[in-house]
Amino acid sequence: MTALFATLLYVATAVLVGGLAYRIRDYARTPAPLKIPTTPAPVTRSGVALRMLREVAFFESLFRSNLWIWAFGWLFHAGLALVLVRHLRYFVEPVPGWLAFVQPFGVYAGFAMAAGLAGLWARRFLVPRVRYISTPSDHLMLVLLLAIALTGLAMKYVAHTDVVAVKAFILGLLLFDWHPLPADGLVYAHLALVVLLMLVFPFSKLLHAPGLFFSPSRNQADDPRERRHLAPWAAKLDAEN
């Protein structure tokens, strides 16, 4: 099992990193031919940076459009962020002071993450117009994330796993000096689901995470009167004529 999971995690990491790099390169090279910031929009680049920061940290536009989805969505994402930071302790030795400090908060984050996901999933059944447009993959992504959260919480609250051995396994992967993974069904399930998430991430709707930064309606300044907006391919045509 150790060799199987070690191989799966190496492959999944390669797919995740390579796939994301490929998709981000694709997004970065896609021309934005029009000036289309959603107004009212900032008129300077630093204003745009601040707008993006508010969007990433607080989901500002979702807050304005739908308070219910915002509440569940933000709960899930904020919980996920804290859970991921908390997991860093498996990857570094020694554990720095700030990482030790956030550990207790991370415990509640696991519950916040699961509650947010449950709310978002319920919405896909209970709101008729959302149910109508929901595809199997919409449901499956939520199920996958929820299953990861529940197996994680089960390891903490139902059947303790040997976290010291899990850490030795992960550090062993990083140093190419393998150590055995604890023989524990919940660890196997948690890691198998994480591998699945890493494999599908670059091909799924979860790409909205990097995609947000490339959204022209959010990342453009409202300055078409001060600066003529010219997509690179249009500039080439201009030069030819």
State how far the Cα of 177 lies from the Cα of 189, in Å rounded to an integer.
23
Would you count residue 7 as binding ligand HEM (CB under 6 A)? no
Whole-number Cα distances in Å, 115 to 14, 49, 71, 203: 31, 31, 11, 26
- 9 sits in the region (left: phi over 0; alpha: psi -120 to 50; else beta) called alpha
Among 27, 90, 178, 213, binds ligand HEM (CB under 6 A): 90
CA nearest to 48, candidates 216, 215, 218, 209:
218
Candidates 14-22, 106-114, 212-220, 232-240: pick the segment binding ligand HEM (CB under 6 A): 106-114
Would you count residue 152 as binding ligand HEM (CB under 6 A)? yes
Q: Which is nearer to ligand HEM, 32 or 171 (CB)?
A: 171
Would you count residue 148 as binding ligand HEM (CB under 6 A)? yes
DSSP H helices, 201-225, are: 208-211, 216-219
Among 112, 149, 168, 221, binds ligand HEM (CB under 6 A): 149
Question: Which pair of tokens denotes residue 74?
Answer: 């933000």
Q: Which is nearer to ligand HEM, 86 or 123 (CB)?
A: 86
State how far the Cα of 214 lies from the Cα of 22, in Å rounded to an integer.
14
Among 6, 48, 83, 112, binds ligand HEM (CB under 6 A): 83
Candidates 18-26, 85-93, 201-209, 213-221: pick the segment binding ligand HEM (CB under 6 A): 85-93
- 176 sits in the region (left: phi over 0; alpha: psi -120 to 50; else beta) called left
Q: Which residues bind ligand HEM (CB under 6 A)?
A: 80, 83, 86-87, 90, 106-107, 110, 113, 145, 148-149, 152-153, 155-156, 161, 163, 166, 170, 190, 194
